[in-house]
Amino acid sequence: MHSLAQEIRSFSRANLRKQRTRVTTLTGRRVIETWRGACLQVEEEAEAVPGGGFVRDLSCDLQVGAARRAAGPLGAAGRVTHILNVAYGVQNAFLNDFIYKTISILDLPETDIISYFPECFEFIEKAKIQDGVVLVHCNAGVSRAAAIVIGFLMNSERLSFASAFSLVKSARPSICPNPGFMEQLHKYQEQNIKKQNDFFY
């Protein structure tokens, strides 16, 4: 059985559809952000508009974006079997195609992401025992899903935070767990080190 780390290393970013995000900045300037390879390209979309800045993502991410990508190139190839949905307010759209686990998590620095680890990890481990492949998704695949996968690698593969982060970043360059999650992942590493040290005494 391959480890999750090996799966991530062998994963090709070419399997993911390109994502375009329309953003209105604080000054009212409209731009389109597109990931090409490991680079973020920004294009001017239209003239400035009055009002405060906000992110307006017209892609399908807020509905079924990540699941639809899995049902496309990955799901069709028979790779993804399970989907861990850690978004807030995103419905599971392909109930006949995948085994789902939904855990609604808010992408806020004060959210205790580590408290969700046991339930998330149990689902991933059960899928691995069944030789399944798990897609972890949130609303944009940037903060919550990344934090869960990084935490899982730290726990199951005994990787350091830096190694786990680097591995996930290499597979999906746009990851950026919020500052609160980053701090908690560093503390999680300290907890794991302490547990290992206690085990050997």
Domain ranges (residues) in the chain: 63-199
Most confident of 60-74, 79-93, 176-190: 176-190
In this prediction, residue 113 carries a pLDDT of 97
Which tokens in the block code for residue 88? 């807030």
Average pLDDT over residues 81-104: 93
- Order across the sheet with 134-137: list the strands: 99-102, 82-85, 134-137
Q: Bigger pLDDT: 54 or 112?
A: 112
Assigned CATH topology for domain 63-199: Protein-Tyrosine Phosphatase; Chain A (3.90.190)
Which range among 28-37, 70-79, 84-93, 146-155 has the greatest average pLDDT? 146-155
Contacting residues for 105 by C-beta, under 8 A, at least 6 apart: 86, 87, 88, 111, 113, 116, 138, 144
**pLDDT score of 40:** 55
Q: Mean pLDDT throughout 65-84?
A: 60
Answer for the pair 118, 99: CB distance below 8 angstroms, yes or no. no
* Chain segment 36-70, per-residue pLDDT in tens: 655 556 676 655 545 444 444 444 444 444 444 44
With cut-offs at 50, 70 and 90, classify the pLDDT of residue 192. confident
Q: Is 60 a catalytic residue?
A: no
Of the residues 39, 60, 138, 176, which is catalytic?
138
Place of tokens 């998330």: 120
Mean pLDDT, range 7-11, rounded to an integer: 63
Please choose, from the candidates 180, 96, 105, 172, the residue with its C-alpha nearest in 3D space to the C-alpha of residue 141.
172
The 10 Å Cβ neighbour count of residue 129 is 9
Lowest mean pLDDT among 3-12, 89-98, 118-127: 3-12
- Predicted local confidence at residue 135, as pLDDT: 94
Instruction: Identify the residue whose tokens are 């726990």.
Output: 155
Asked whether residue 88 carries a pLDDT value surpassing 70, the answer given is yes
Enclosing H/E stretch for 125: helix 117-129
- Give the pLDDT of residue 155: 94
Q: What is the pTM of this model?
A: 0.65
Residue 138 has pLDDT above 70, yes or no: yes
Task: Please tell me which of 77-91, 117-131, 186-200 the model is most confident about, judged by mean pLDDT.
Answer: 117-131
Residue 3's nearest CA partner among 187, 159, 176, 199 is 159
Split at pLDDT 50, 70, 90, the class of 76 is very low
Mean pLDDT (the chain, rounded) = 77
How far is residue 170 from each of residues 13, 46, 69, 115, 189, measured CA to CA in Å?
Answer: 9, 33, 19, 26, 20
